[in-house]
Amino acid sequence: MHHVSNSLPDHLPGIQVAFALKQCLGKQDLLITLLNKFWEDYKDASNRLESGDLESHAIEKLLHDLQGAGINLGLNDLGKTCQVLRDSLKSSGSLTDEERGQFHMELEKVGSSIKTLDSTIQS
């Protein structure tokens, strides 16, 4: 696999690492810090979507924020999923179980890859 440096792969499931590293001006520590912050802020986003406590405008804001942060960090699949959910929310006012499941799957994939990157840097 081609590496952007001697320790990071170009891509992990859910993360375009090379793009994200470019966004961080090649600073691996900054990338890891931002990805860990992202995960800390949004790791419970599936639960927040499922809780039923949020009204549709709050869900839309959560998806919008997650999409923006994610796209800037190379989390393109998650960003696309957020856009699909936002569109669905606007047109129908709710999300299907399938849409929620897709979101959960994409979010967990990103979380797993962030942990992989973190352990790559630590070793």
Mean pLDDT score, 61-79: 94
In degrees and rounded to multiples of 5, residue 35 shows phi and psi of -65, -40
pLDDT at 4 over 60: no
Check if the beta carbon of residue 15 is closer than 8 Å to that of residue 75: yes
Give me the pLDDT at residue 58, please: 87
Give me the pLDDT at residue 123, please: 61
pTM over cut 0.85: yes
Give me the pLDDT at residue 120, please: 74
